[in-house]
A and B are shown apart, each in its own frame.
Chain A
Amino acid sequence: MLAGWLLAPALCWMGVFFVLPLALVFVISFASRGTYGGVEWTFSLANYLNVVDPLYLKIFLRSLTLALATTVLCLVLGFPLAYYIARLPVRWQGVWLLLVMIPFWTNFLVRTYAWMFMLRAEGLLNTLAMGLGLIASPIEILYSPAAVLIGLVYGYLPFMVLPLYAAIERLAPSVVEAAWDLYAPAWAVFWRVIVPMTKPGIVAGCLLVFIPSLGAFITPDLLGGARTMMVGNLIQHEYLVVRDWPFGSAISFVLMGLVLAGVMAYVRAEGSRRELEVRR
């Protein structure tokens, strides 16, 4: 009884500030744009049909590709780091985790501007590479998908490292030693024991990186320029520039639907795989 009441504050908050606005957006997605940018309450599926336009599909596809690439890169960079931290003496683990989280102490926008200075033609990276004689003329990285990818990986790496760290920290070193003792070479220790046992952390990290990078708009806006528009930018564009709220709402819901479908498919596949394994 008491436990039910403890739920009430959070439930009220979520109801008023999350569910209600979301429902509103859902309703608006079936309306249409007024002549001067307002919302006209006429029911139609036109907005959803519009999303399938090749122009927008291309943006969806680019977002998906960039988000996937970001997730994979974060995983590849984050796993060794998380493993290293999780195997340090406890007092050093805290220091390293702090270092991973320190960027959060500064505004994301400011940090993204810093990356602009790093990546532009006369920026730090090019100057350094040219000074070392690695390249003859500056490479234009800024305002390209590569710049967006760099920015996204930078921004979301901590979201990958933290759940991975938590999972690896729980992995008893003796289990890894057991695999080694049972004739497993390094790759088999990794794929047959470490990966399956840290899977919850891997999945959590991938979701925490994939979902926000799919909807990211600051990073592609500042580092990608007009050529590398992602879904996030498209939604922002529809809401604030074109002032077509109904279409913006429809895109938002398609994006949500895609993410949800992906997660559900994973959960279902995982469930049946586990069932198979136990039955074997």
Chain B
Amino acid sequence: MADVSVDIRNVVKSHGAITAVDHLSLEVRKGEFFSILGPSGSGKTTTLRLLAGFEHPDQGDILIEGRSMRLVPPNHRPVNLVFQNYALFPHLTVFGNISFGLEMRRVPRAELRSRVETVLDMVRLTSKQDRLPAQLSGGEQQRVALARALVNHPSVLLLDEPLGALDQQLRQDMQVELKAIQEQVGITFICVTHHQEEALTMSDRVAIMNHGRLLQVGSPQEIYETPASSFVANFIGVSNTLVGHIRSLNGSCCGVMVPGLPKAQAIVARPPAGAGVGSPVTLLLRPERLHLSREVSLPGFDNALEARISKAIYNGSEMQYLLSLADGISWKARVPNAGGGQKRFLPGEAVFVRWTVDEGVVLPE
């Protein structure tokens, strides 16, 4: 238990008739980069505000560093929040913004100066310390917001959509930088975002929320490779689905019967725990795990389906194909752009879609 930084225990929070957070229990470890991922209205922002102390749970409790946060106001919590729109003080300089928290805690002048200078250096803003926030670019403002929180050495740093307002290129650079800073300072980061790539790139562990409930917690790889539900699978990237039932069970393999596909084409998959013959299941497949080819027979794959290319989209790094399978099922496939002699498929072309048994994730319905 010593390595638990934040312990959310069965927390319920309602806003009027809406249950924003519904019996949420979550443990965040010391020094980890933890992301809470979910669509808007999933309760992730409310969770963050409960941690910061701007709202209080109707039920349950939150422990930070083992101490109950019940009735503890935000200014007495060992956490600092990086606000979504940065919420910098427009009337204070970069230095004034960053030193605000230290001044409030009456840190001696010399120590204050050296601590502010250290974080200014860390976020590469030393030369701009006398500017006002309005004189900074979006990326610089973001770094001031980060520095303003980090300088206080909080036990937990909370980030609300930290990169949401930045453009794509800057966002990707900042993902790397934020992760590097987190590793450097070793503080627990809890980041709320609706941006799945951001969460996967930066986090040690990710929690997926929807409608106030926790759906799955795990490493980015676990979340992506073995989603616990089709909501998670579809929220984290794109998934192709097939709905059917188990026709035969054979040790670690099962045959899945999908209505609409030809009888002979039972899909070979790994059965979910506790499933029996006749259990309804959903098969999930990532678009980049599909193999497309014109060859009628090709060794090394467990499954093959006939499909027709309905659209071919070139987006630089890869080709995206929209496939139409039998019975109006529509899938997506992604093929990396290998350049050179790589053959591309044209709309209208008939192809075979292939994958091995381990690429598919089967969920009980």
Q: B75 near A278 (CB under 8 angstroms)?
A: no
Flag whether B89 is at the interface (Cβ < 8 A). Answer: yes
CB-nearest residue of chain A to B151: A182
Q: Return the chain B residue nearest A195 by Cβ.
A: B91
CB distance from A189 to the nearest CB of B (A): 8
> A182-195 vs B: 1/0 string, CB under 8 Å?
11110010001100
19 new A-B pairs (CB below 8 Å) besides A174-B85, A174-B87, A180-B73? A174-B83, A175-B87, A175-B89, A175-B90, A177-B52, A177-B54, A177-B74, A177-B83, A180-B74, A181-B74, A181-B79, A181-B81, A182-B80, A183-B101, A185-B104, A188-B104, A196-B91, A278-B93, A279-B130
Give the residues from 246 to 280 in chain A that come closer than 8 angstroms, CB to CB, to chain B.
277-280
User: Considering the chains assembled together, what is the distance between the CA atoms of A203 and B100 in angstroms?
Assistant: 25
B101–A278 CB distance below 8 A: no
Of all chain B residues, the one with the shortest Cβ separation from A277 is: B93
Is the pair A197, B74 in contact by a Cβ cutoff of 8 Å? no
- Interface size, chain B (Cβ < 8 Å): 28
Which B residue sits closest to A192, measured CB to CB?
B100
Contacts of A175 in B (CB 8 A): 87-90
Could you say which residues of chain A place their CB within 8 Å of the CB of B52? 177, 181
User: If A174-B85, A175-B89 touch, does A182 touch B73 (CB 8 Å cutoff)?
Assistant: no
Check: B115 CB closer than 8 A to any chain A CB.
no
Please tell me if the beta carbons of A181 and B75 are within 8 angstroms of each other in the complex: yes
A193 close to B93 (CB less than 8 A): no
Contacts of B83 in A (CB 8 A): 174, 177-178
Contact call A182/B93, Cβ cutoff below 8 A: no
In the complex the two chains form, is A179's CB within 8 Å of B73's CB? no
Sample (26) of A-B pairs whose CB atoms are under 8 Å apart: A172-B87, A174-B83, A174-B84, A175-B89, A175-B90, A177-B54, A177-B74, A178-B83, A180-B54, A181-B79, A181-B81, A182-B75, A182-B101, A182-B104, A183-B104, A183-B152, A184-B75, A184-B100, A184-B104, A188-B104, A192-B100, A193-B89, A196-B91, A197-B89, A280-B93, A280-B130
Separation of A172 and B74 alpha carbons in the complex (Å)? 18
Cβ-based interface call for B105 (8 A): yes
B132 within 8 A of A: yes
A177 and B81 CA atoms in complex are apart in Å by: 9
Name the interface residues of A155-209: CB closer than 8 Å to any CB of B.
172, 174-175, 177-185, 188, 192-193, 196-197
Residues of A within 8 A of B308 (CB): none
With an 8 Å Cβ cutoff, the count of chain A residues facing the other chain is 21
- Least CB distance from A280 to B in Å reads 7
Q: CA of A141 to CA of B229 in the docked complex: distance in angstroms?
A: 76
Cβ 8 A contact of B132, one of A178, A179, A278, A279: A278
Which chain B residues lie closer than 8 Å to A178 at the CB level?
Answer: 81, 83, 87-89, 148
Q: Mark B160-201, 1 if CB is under 8 A from A, else 0.
A: 000000000000000000000000000000000000000000
Q: Of all chain B residues, which has the CB nearest A178?
A: B87
A172 → B minimal CB distance (Å): 6
Q: Please, how many angstroms separate the alpha-carbon atoms of A182 and B87 in the complex?
A: 12
Closest beta carbon of chain A to B238's beta carbon, Å: 33
Query: By the criterion CB–CB under 8 Å, are A172 and B152 in contact?
Result: no
Contact partner, A177, options B87, B101, B132, B148, Cβ 8 Å: B87
- Alpha-carbon separation in the docked complex, A205 to B80 (Å): 35
Tell me the smallest distance from the CB of A20 to a CB of chain B, in Å.
42
B residues with a Cβ closer than 8 A to A are 52-54, 73-76, 79-81, 83-85, 87-91, 93, 100-101, 104-105, 130, 132, 148-149, 152
Q: Is the Cβ of B130 less than 8 Å from the Cβ of A278? A: yes
A269 to B135, CA, bound (A): 23
Cα A178 to Cα B75 in complex, Å, equals 10
Asked if residues A182 and B90 are in contact (CB atoms below 8 Å), the reply is: no
Q: How far is the CA of A188 from the CA of B130 in the complex (A)?
A: 22
CA distance A36 to B343 in the complex (A): 110
In the complex, what residues of A have CB within 8 A of residue B73's CB? 180
For residue B297, give the distance in angstroms from its CB to the closest CB of chain A: 61
Instruction: Say whether B105 contacts A179, CB under 8 Å.
Output: no
Q: Which residues of B contact A192 (CB under 8 A)?
A: 100
Most B-side CB within 10 Å, residue of A175, A193, A278? A175
How long is the Cα–Cα vector from A155 to B101 in the complex, in angstroms?
42
The answer for the CA separation of A177 and B130 in the assembled complex, in Å, is 24
* Complex interface: chain A residues within 8 A of B80 (CB): 181-182
Contacts of B101 in A (CB 8 A): 182-183
* Closest-CB distance, B84 to chain A (whole angstroms): 8
Determine how close the nearest CB of chain A comes to the CB of B52; give it in whole angstroms.
Answer: 6
**Complex: A121 Cα to B231 Cα, angstroms:** 75
CB contacts (< 8 Å) of A277 on chain B: these are 93
Report Cα–Cα, A174/B148, bound state, in Å.
14
Q: Report the Cα distance A182→B54, complex, angstroms.
A: 12
Q: Does the CB pair B87–A183 fall under 8 Å?
A: no
User: Would A179 and B89 be within 8 Å (CB), given that A185-B75, A278-B130, A280-B130 are in contact?
Assistant: yes
B75 — which chain A residues lie within 8 A by C-beta? 180-185
Q: What is the minimal beta-carbon distance from B50 to any residue of chain A, in angstroms?
A: 13
Q: Are B105 and A183 in contact (CB under 8 A)?
A: yes
Contact with B along A11-51 (1 / 0, CB 8 A): 00000000000000000000000000000000000000000
Nearest first, the 5 closest Cβ-Cβ pairs linking A and B are A182-B101, A174-B87, A183-B104, A178-B87, A196-B91
Which residue of B has the minimal Cβ distance to A173? B87
The complex places the Cα of A175 from the Cα of B104 at a distance, in Å, of 15
Shortest Cβ distance from residue B191 to the other chain A in the assembled complex, whole angstroms? 16
Tell me which residues across on chain B come within 8 A of A280, comparing CB atoms.
93, 130
B84, closest chain A residue (CB):
A174
